Amino acid sequence: MQKILVARPIFPDVIDRLKQYFDVDWNQGDVLPADALKQRLADKDGALSAGDPIDGSVLAAAPRLRVVSNMAVGYNNFDMAAFNASNVLGTNTPDVLNESTADFGWALMMAAARRIAESEHWLRAGKWGKWSYDGFLGGDLYGSTLGVIGMGRIGQALARRARGFNMQVIYHNRSRVAPEIEADLNAHYVSKEELLRRADHVVLVLPYTKDSHHTIGAAELALMKPSATLTNIARGGIVDDAALAEALRTKQIAAAGLDVFEGEPSVNPALLTVPNVVLTPHIASATEATRRAMANLAADNLIAALGEGPRAGNPPNPINADVMGRARQ
């Protein structure tokens, strides 16, 4: 029987599914340090990861490893050059989290714009003594301009939600989406600079790569309206968190909502000192239905990639499909 490692705690019923096909080593504790991860993978044929860094040194320590299934859409935790060089397949879990992530991004944007977290902290501190005409004035979403950077599946889901708020949608992407998609979403392609100047609310939903590192830094924040908000539900590192904290401190922009951070789970201390930011611990996909769908899709990928189950040899979501069928290097 082939051996696999499940590197993080997940739903026990998903483990039961995997046990139908594999000898399962399940880490039910904290995130495995690099050395422990290498040790646990040394005799494994496959692994199910949830953001664990897998680089060339990890792959070299696991000569039998043929596939790593990531329980996430993003896979910047994978060194894909090393995967390709070793003929190790990587898989991910797109689509199943589009709507819940878009819902959360919308909630985070609204919370930032309407100063919900800031006002709640003020209320909890016992500071609410009377109503005032200028208490916690925020920005409207209805009738405003939404700027989406990254018009993939989740970006499009956000744009669909903008219809109900009568918002103008502008977007920037590595390439324009198909004309019929633009028409359906009533979305208009603009340069990143124009988007930052025009948008009342900027939402980031682009993948993290070396090219997207610090897509939003001090120069980009300086282009935004003083009344604008920034929401990041993409990946940490896309925003220069130190520059953002300074822009929030000086009211260069009005507010921000962040679900992801550079170096998470660590958070830049400066972000913890400014009141006009809503901070959440990478939970945009955290509904039970969505997380179960992600876990089961990650299991489907692993089962199929290791030649088992009804889709044997045909995993639903290969990242580097070209390596399939090649001998492990």
Q: What is the DSSP letter of 318?
A: B
Give 127: exposed, middle or buried? Use CB within 10 Å, 0-12, 13-18, 19+.
exposed
292 annotated active-site: no
**200 with 144: CB under 8 angstroms?**
yes
Q: What whole-number distance in Å separates Cα of residue 218 and Cα of residue 220?
A: 6
Least Cα distance to 223 among 255, 249, 257, 247 occurs for 247
Provide CB contacts within 8 A for 120, sequence distance 6+. none
Question: In this structure, what token pair is assigned to residue 179?
Answer: 């004309």
Among candidate residues 160, 282, 292, 328, the one labeled active-site is: 282
Among candidate residues 8, 235, 262, 291, the one labeled active-site is: 235
The packing angle between helices 98-113 and 288-305, to 10°, is 140
Least Cα distance to 188 among 215, 148, 234 occurs for 148
Q: What is the DSSP letter of 316?
A: S
Question: In this structure, what token pair is assigned to residue 278?
Answer: 């809503």
Q: What whole-number distance in Å separates Cα of residue 95 and Cα of residue 123?
A: 38
Kind and range of the H or E run holding 201: strand 201-204
99 annotated active-site: no
Runs of H (alpha helix) within 61-205: 80-86, 98-113, 116-124, 153-162, 179-185, 192-198
Q: What whole-number distance in Å separates Cα of residue 50 and Cα of residue 242?
A: 27
The packing angle between helices 288-305 and 12-19, to 10°, is 20
326 annotated active-site: no
Among candidate residues 194, 264, 292, 308, the one labeled active-site is: 264
Give 52: exposed, middle or buried? Use CB within 10 Å, 0-12, 13-18, 19+.
buried
Residues classed as catalytic:
235, 264, 282
